[in-house]
Amino acid sequence: MSEPKPRLLLIDDEEVVLDSCLAILEGSDHEVATAPGGAAGLELVRTFGPDLVFVDLKMPGMSGMEVLEAIRALDPTIVCVVFTGFATISSAVEAMQRGARDFLPKPFTPDDFRSMIRRGLDWRRLLVEAASLRREREALRENFAAIVSHELRSPLGAIQQNLFVLLKELAGVATEDQQRRLERMSTRLSDLLALVNRWLRGFSVDFSNLKDNFRPVAIADPVARAVENAQPEATRKAVTIEAEADPEAVVVGDAGTLAEALLNVIGNAVKYSREGGRVEVSAVRRNEKVVVSVTDTGVGIPEADLPRLFDAFYRGQAATSSVGGAGIGLAVTRRIVEAHGGVITATSAPGRGSTFVIALPAAGSAAAPPEGPSPGQVSKGEAG
Amino acid sequence: MSERKKVLIVDDDPDFVEGIKAILDTEYDTEVTYNPKDGWDALKRGGHDLLCLDIMMGRGAEGVMMARKIRKDPVLREMPVLIITSLREQIAFLFPGQAVHPGFVPVDELVEKPVDPDLLLEKAATMIAAAEARRAAQ
């Protein structure tokens, strides 16, 4: 397969410039298109798909600067060079800020032009390569979950399974010390498996496939499940959870992951509550939305940490210990909420408590995600 | 004294299989196949009371394909299937150890790898007893 010819686009209102450029390029190994103005030029950016664009800064109608910005918004890997009638430093600087790679003062010699094309196309190759590397890295990250889950979890699981059996078989046969060591091995392995799982969840679980299982879900169901699962820890800390859910509030989604998202938030509220504190959970339908809010009377979150609260842990540890450990759960929560077309926000008064609000499109509203295709299976039995 | 029930294990990880086979051996006759194809042939020969099925086998979720095949079979679809998987099902993540029915076949439950020996025996006994009760009621 031969390499496609590099594509050049020249945008200039002066016909003589376009003509002389075409003359220079005659017989060269490029596909060339020209446009007499910004609007026509942008149209060609879309249809012709240039690798390198030369733009005149001073044109009637759409200015060169606007063209630069529009091209950058369309595809930042397209390389732009500006023609400048009078090469002032300030206009050149401004053009570079708006995405131009270089500038070519008029008048220029054929050699100037050719060497600018060479440099521009070299840069374009680098940009395209970098973009494809980035895509590859993203794909790797997405696949990471699958790779790690099989390659790492399988052997760990197999070892643990056999330890379970050994512990049972050797009960009464092994010495107390041997038994204790086996138990330690099993405990450490459980910790390791739990770590891998937590890490995996936070790192690269792809929630986009969730949409295949979307069904109408009364929000009261995941709320009840989440509260039930947060209850043991709440009981230990003498924290009261009060939950109220409007039975008419229905969203389109996946009940299991919604419960998981809610459990993360409610669990945090319990975790950061003082002994004897209260956590209030309410789920109501408000216009086109189903709004779940979780309010605690706990230690609160410093204002500076709020914007980063939902970032995945690897993007930087929140410095204060008061939010330490919340990173993974909330990042996962946000991804689940967003997969449902919703938004999660947090407000807090340090020392007095926090409120987390999850707003999901109500079933039947315009913003509600579509239901997944019918799997053609027997209906799922519900857990517990 | 009734005859021992027969359990078929289909899982491609021999080490893991040893781990659950040793548990099930204490109460059941066990048969093992290491891929869905042999597993299907074994099922077709008949005589099993429970299938313990791994999901991630071979080049992907071949266990699910096997479950679908079972679902379409007028005889085999009556058999209880215990899904044993390291695939982290969302629901299993939330409710470890609780009854979870993936809905791959008419009667199934799911436990996660590694599985606690007592939980495994309890699940197996419950599922086999329920299947017997269903048969008796027919």
Q: Is the pLDDT of residue B123 over 90?
A: yes
Question: Could you tell me if A333 lies within 8 Å of chain B, comparing CB atoms?
Answer: no
> H/E element holding A235?
helix A220-236
Residues of B in contact with A200 (CB under 8 A): 88
CB-based contact B46:B53 (threshold 8 Å): no
Question: Could you tell me if A215 lies within 8 Å of chain B, comparing CB atoms?
Answer: no
pLDDT value of position A28: 87
Torsion region of A320: left, alpha or beta (phi above 0 gives left; psi -120 to 50 gives alpha):
beta
Residues B27-56: what's their mean pLDDT? 94
pLDDT band at residue A207 using 50, 70 and 90 as cut-offs:
low
Q: Is the pLDDT of residue A313 over 50?
A: no
What span, in angstroms and rounded, lies between the C-alpha atoms of A126 and A129? 5
> H/E element holding A308?
none
Question: Could you tell me if A165 lies within 8 Å of chain B, comparing CB atoms?
Answer: yes
> E strands, chain B, where?
6-10, 29-33, 50-53, 81-85, 108-112
| pLDDT greater at residue A214 or residue A329 | A214
Residues A252-278: what's their mean pLDDT? 89
- pTM score of the predicted model: 0.49
Task: Please name the member of B22, B91, B103 whose beta carbon is closest to the beta carbon of A165.
Answer: B22
Residue A117 CA to its chain's centroid (Å): 36
CB-based contact A182:A215 (threshold 8 Å): no
Question: Could you tell me if A135 lies within 8 Å of chain B, comparing CB atoms?
Answer: no
CB-based contact A337:A358 (threshold 8 Å): yes
φ, ψ for residue A311, nearest 5 deg: -70, 145
Q: Across-strand partners of A281?
A: A243, A294
pLDDT value of position B3: 83
CB-based contact A12:A36 (threshold 8 Å): yes
Instruction: Note whether B16 contacts A229, CB cutoff 8 Å.
Output: no
pLDDT value of position A330: 82
- Listed by number, the residues of chain B in 73-102 with a beta carbon closer than 8 Å to a beta carbon of chain A are 86-91, 93-95, 98-102
Place of tokens 């397209």: A78
Q: What is the mean pLDDT of chain A?
A: 84
> H/E element holding A206?
none
pLDDT value of position A377: 39
φ, ψ for residue A248, nearest 5 deg: -85, -10
Cα R_g (chain B), whole angstroms: 14
Residues of A in contact with B116 (CB under 8 A): 164
Question: Could you tell me if A225 lies within 8 Å of chain B, comparing CB atoms?
Answer: yes
pLDDT over 90 for what percent of chain B? 54
pLDDT value of position A222: 92
pLDDT value of position A105: 86
pLDDT value of position B60: 66
Q: Is the pLDDT of residue B89 over 90?
A: no
Instruction: Note whether B15 contacts A381, CB cutoff 8 Å.
Output: no
Q: Is the pLDDT of residue B91 over 80?
A: no
Instruction: Note whether A378 contacts B106, CB cutoff 8 Å.
Output: yes
Instruction: Note whether A160 contacts B93, CB cutoff 8 Å.
Output: no
Q: Is the pLDDT of residue A134 over 60?
A: yes
| pLDDT greater at residue A370 or residue B11 | B11
Residues of B in contact with A191 (CB under 8 A): none
pLDDT value of position B100: 57
Question: Could you tell me if B65 lies within 8 Å of chain A, comparing CB atoms?
Answer: no
A33-42, A211-220, A300-309: which has the minimum mean pLDDT?
A300-309
pLDDT band at residue A316 using 50, 70 and 90 as cut-offs:
very low
pLDDT value of position A70: 92
Task: Note the ipTM here.
Answer: 0.80
Please name the residues in contact with A282: beta carbons below 8 A apart, sequence gap of 6 or more. Answer: A243, A244, A245, A292, A293
pLDDT value of position A99: 86
CB-based contact A33:A50 (threshold 8 Å): yes
Report pLDDT digits (tens) over A30-78.
999 999 999 999 999 999 999 999 999 888 888 888 999 999 999 989 9
Residue A94 half-sphere exposure toward CB, CA atoms < 13 A: 11
